[in-house]
C-alpha cells in the first residue's frame, strides 16, 4: 500500500543529498580528506535517524492503523452488498496486498465466491468447495493452519501452494463462509500472519453482520407494508364482497358465515403483520382465505388437503408465509378444464422443519422458474421474495425457499425453516405410551 513521505523524511533526505554533494565536490577539488569524511559521518547519522524514525513503534502502529482503516473502508463498500461472487471477488483483490499470501480466496458454506492471486485459473468462482480443510473450518468454526500440499487438498494437481490458513467468517455466531490465504512456502506462516488472517476474517464478519442488520432494518420497515399489500388487494376485496352480496340472495346462511370469516380474516391480517404466530394459526388464516376463493369459484374448482406432522402445530413462524403461496397457486395455477388441488404439509426431516405447498395446476416453464425470486409485479415473484426474506430474517440464513415446477404438471414450494429450537414432536409410539 503506497504511503506519502512526511515533511521530516523529506528534510532528512534533503540533508543527506546536500552532504553527498559537498563530499563529491570536496573530492573533485582535491581538498583535505576531513571534509568527505565528515560528510560520510553526517550521511550515516541521517540514515540512522531515518531508520529510527521509520521503525518507531508508535509510528509503525499509526501506519498499521491507517492501512487497516483504509482497508476497512474499502471492503465495507463491497460487503454492504452481502456475501456473493461480486463482493467476494472485489474484497479478495483488496486483501491480497495486506497479507504475505500468494493468493486469497473467500467462500460461502458451499462454493468458492472469490479468488485473487496465483493459480486463479485453478480456483474458479462459483465452483463447489473441494478441500477438507475448508470443510473442517466451516464445521468446527475454528481457524485451520495447513503446512503441507497434501493438507491443502491438491496433492495431485501440480499446485505450487505448500501451506494455507483457513479462517471461518462468523457474523452473529453463525458461520457464513471462510477466508483462505494460500502460500508457496510454509515458512511464511508465523504468528503475525495468523493474527492478520484472524483479524481480516473478524473485520469481514463484522461488516457482513452490519450489512445484514441494515438489511433487516430496511426489511422490517418494508415488510409491514408489503405484507398488508399482499393481503388487502383491491380485486380480492371487491371479489369477496361481490361473492357475499350474491350469496345474500341465494344462500343467506352461507353469506353470514362468510361475512364473519371475512371480518376475522382482516382482523388477523392487521393484528399479525409484525408478530410471530403458530403454524396452526397461519394454517387457519390460510383456510379462511381459501374459503373465500372456494365460495367465489365453486367447491368443484378448488380442493384442499393437509398433512401436518403432530407436534408442529405450535412452531412459531412469521405471519403470512403460507397464505401468499396458496394465493399464488390460485392466481397462477388454476386450469379451465380441471379442478385445482392444493396440499399443505409440514414435516421434520433430519432435524429441520419443512413446509410444502403443492398444487397440480398449470405449472411454469423453466425460463419463468429461473426468475421466480425477482420481485417483478408481472408474476408471483414478489410474494416468493417476501416470504423468503422474512423466513431468513426470522430463522436465520439456514432457512430458505425452494420452488419446483413443471409445465402442465404443477408447482411445489418448499419452505425449509431449519432446525427449530425446542421442537418436541410426539411420535405415535410416544403418544401410545403416554396414554
Find cell 463498500 and name the residue: 77
* pLDDT tens for each residue of 299-356: 889 999 999 999 999 999 988 889 889 988 998 888 888 899 999 999 999 889 999 9
Report the pLDDT value the prediction gives residue 265, as an integer from 0 to 100.
80
Are 47 and 76 found together in one domain?
no
Number of domains in the chain: 3
Find cell 531515518 and name the residue: 50
Are 129 and 45 found together in one domain?
no
Are 44 and 87 found together in one domain?
no
- Average pLDDT over the chain reads 79
What average pLDDT does the segment 16-26 reach? 73
Are 283 and 429 found together in one domain?
yes
From CA 32, how far away is CA 236, in angstroms rounded?
A: 105
Report the pLDDT value the prediction gives residue 153, as an integer from 0 to 100.
73
Is position 168 within any domain?
A: yes
Are 339 and 429 found together in one domain?
yes
CATH code for the domain in which residue 122 is found: 3.30.450.40
Is position 262 within any domain?
A: no
From CA 282, how far away is CA 393, in angstroms rounded?
A: 18
Which of 169, 187, 210 delimits the end of a domain?
210
Are 87 and 187 found together in one domain?
yes
From CA 225, how far away is CA 301, in angstroms rounded?
A: 31
Which of 55, 76, 95 delimits the end of a domain?
55
Q: Among 53-62, 238-247, 337-346, 421-430, whose mean pLDDT is lowest?
A: 421-430
Is position 104 within any domain?
A: yes
Assign 411 to helix, strand or coil: strand
Are 79 and 44 found together in one domain?
no
Instruction: Please name the helix (run of DSSP H) or strand (run of DSSP E) that holds residue 165, with its range, or none.
Output: strand 163-169
Alpha-helical regions (H) of 272-414: 279-297, 323-333, 366-369, 381-395
Q: What percent of the chain has pLDDT over 70?
A: 76
Is position 234 within any domain?
A: no
Residue 404 grid coordinates: 419446483
Assign 342 to helix, strand or coil: strand
How far apart, in Å, do the first and last CA atoms of the chain sit? Answer: 73
CATH code for the domain in which residue 418 is found: 3.30.565.10
From CA 301, how far away is CA 235, in angstroms rounded?
A: 19
Are 115 and 173 found together in one domain?
yes
Find cell 476497512 and name the residue: 72
Domain region containing 291: 272-433
Is position 247 within any domain?
A: no
DSSP one-letter string for 214-232: HHHHHHHHHHHHHHHHHH-
Are 45 and 111 found together in one domain?
no
Instruction: Please name the helix (run of DSSP H) or strand (run of DSSP E) that holds residue 269, with its range, or none.
Output: helix 252-271
Report the pLDDT value the prediction gives residue 54, as an integer from 0 to 100.
58
Report the pLDDT value the prediction gives residue 397, as an integer from 0 to 100.
77
Which of 210, 229, 260 delimits the end of a domain?
210
Are 281 and 421 found together in one domain?
yes
Q: Among 137-141, 241-245, 286-290, whose mean pLDDT is lowest?
A: 241-245
Is position 200 within any domain?
A: yes
Is position 198 within any domain?
A: yes
Is position 75 within any domain?
A: yes
* pLDDT tens for each residue of 77-120: 787 778 889 999 999 999 898 888 999 999 999 999 999 998 88
Are 79 and 50 found together in one domain?
no
Contact between 275 and 311 (Cβ < 8 Å): no
Based on its alpha-carbon atoms, the radius of gyration of the chain, rounded to whole angstroms, reads: 33
* pLDDT tens for each residue of 259-305: 888 888 877 766 655 567 899 999 998 999 899 898 888 888 999 99
Are 49 and 92 found together in one domain?
no
* pLDDT tens for each residue of 350-386: 889 999 999 999 888 887 777 776 655 444 566 787 7
Report the pLDDT value the prediction gives residue 123, as an integer from 0 to 100.
84
Amino acid at each position: 500500500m503506497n504511503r506519502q513521505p512526511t515533511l521530516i523524511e523529506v528534510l532528512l533526505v534533503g540533508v543527506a543529498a546536500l552532504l553527498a554533494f559537498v563530499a563529491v565536490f570536496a573530492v573533485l577539488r582535491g581538498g583535505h580528506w576531513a571534509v568527505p569524511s565528515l560528510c560520510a559521518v553526517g550521511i550515516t547519522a541521517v540514515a540512522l535517524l531515518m531508520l529510527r524514525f521509520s521503525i518507531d513503534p508508535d509510528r509503525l502502529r499509526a501506519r498499521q492503523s491507517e492501512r487497516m482503516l483504509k482497508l476497512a473502508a474499502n471492503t465495507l463498500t463491497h460487503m454492504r452488498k452481502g456475501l456473493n461472487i461480486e463482493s467476494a471477488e472485489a474484497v479478495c483483490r483488496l486483501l491480497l496486498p495486506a497479507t504475505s499470501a500468494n493468493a486469497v480466496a473467500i467462500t460461502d458454506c458451499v462454493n468458492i465466491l472469490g479468488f485473487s492471486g496465483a493459480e486463479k485459473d485453478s480456483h474458479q468462482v462459483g465452483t463447489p468447495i473441494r478441500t477438507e480443510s475448508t470443510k473442517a473450518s466451516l464445521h468446527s468454526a475454528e481457524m485451520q493452519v495447513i503446512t503441507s500440499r497434501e493438507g491443502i487438498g491438491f496433492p495431485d494437481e501440480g499446485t505450487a501452494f505448500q501451506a494455507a490458513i483457513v479462517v471461518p467468517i462468523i457474523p452473529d455466531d453463525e458461520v457464513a463462509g471462510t477466508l483462505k490465504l494460500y502460500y508457496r512456502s510454509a515458512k511464511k506462516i508465523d504468528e503475525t500472519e495468523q493474527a492478520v488472517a484472524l483479524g481480516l476474517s473478524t473485520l469481514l464478519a463484522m461488516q457482513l453482520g452490519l450489512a445484514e442488520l441494515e438489511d433487516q432494518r430496511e426489511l422490517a420497515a418494508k415488510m409491514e407494508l408489503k405484507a398488508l399489500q399482499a393481503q388487502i388487494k383491491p380485486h380480492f376485496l371487491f371479489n369477496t364482497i361481490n361473492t357475499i352480496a350474491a350469496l345474500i340472495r341465494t344462500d343467506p346462511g352461507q353469506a353470514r358465515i362468510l361475512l364473519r370469516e371475512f371480518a376475522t380474516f382482516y382482523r388477523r391480517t392487521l393484528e399479525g403483520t409484525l408478530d410471530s404466530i403458530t403454524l396452526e394459526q397461519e394454517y387457519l388464516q390460510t383456510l379462511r382465505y381459501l374459503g373465500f376463493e372456494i365460495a367465489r369459484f365453486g367447491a368443484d374448482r378448488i380442493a384442499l388437503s393437509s398433512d401436518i406432522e403432530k407436534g408442529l402445530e405450535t412452531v412459531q413462524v412469521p405471519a403470512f408465509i403460507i397464505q401468499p403461496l396458496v394465493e399464488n397457486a390460485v392466481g397462477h395455477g388454476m386450469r379451465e378444464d380441471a379442478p385445482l388441488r392444493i396440499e399443505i404439509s409440514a414435516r421434520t426431516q433430519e432435524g429441520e422443519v419443512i413446509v410444502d405447498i403443492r398444487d397440480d395446476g398449470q405449472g411454469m416453464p423453466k425460463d419463468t422458474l429461473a426468475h421466480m425470486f425477482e420481485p417483478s409485479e408481472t408474476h408471483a415473484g414478489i410474494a416468493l421474495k417476501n416470504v423468503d426474506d422474512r423466513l431468513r430474517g426470522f430463522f436465520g440464513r439456514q432457512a430458505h425457499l425452494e420452488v419446483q415446477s413443471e409445465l402442465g404438471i404443477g408447482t411445489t414450494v418448499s419452505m425449509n425453516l431449519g432446525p427449530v429450537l425446542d421442537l418436541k414432536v410426539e411420535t405415535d409410539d410416544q403418544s401410545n405410551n403416554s396414554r
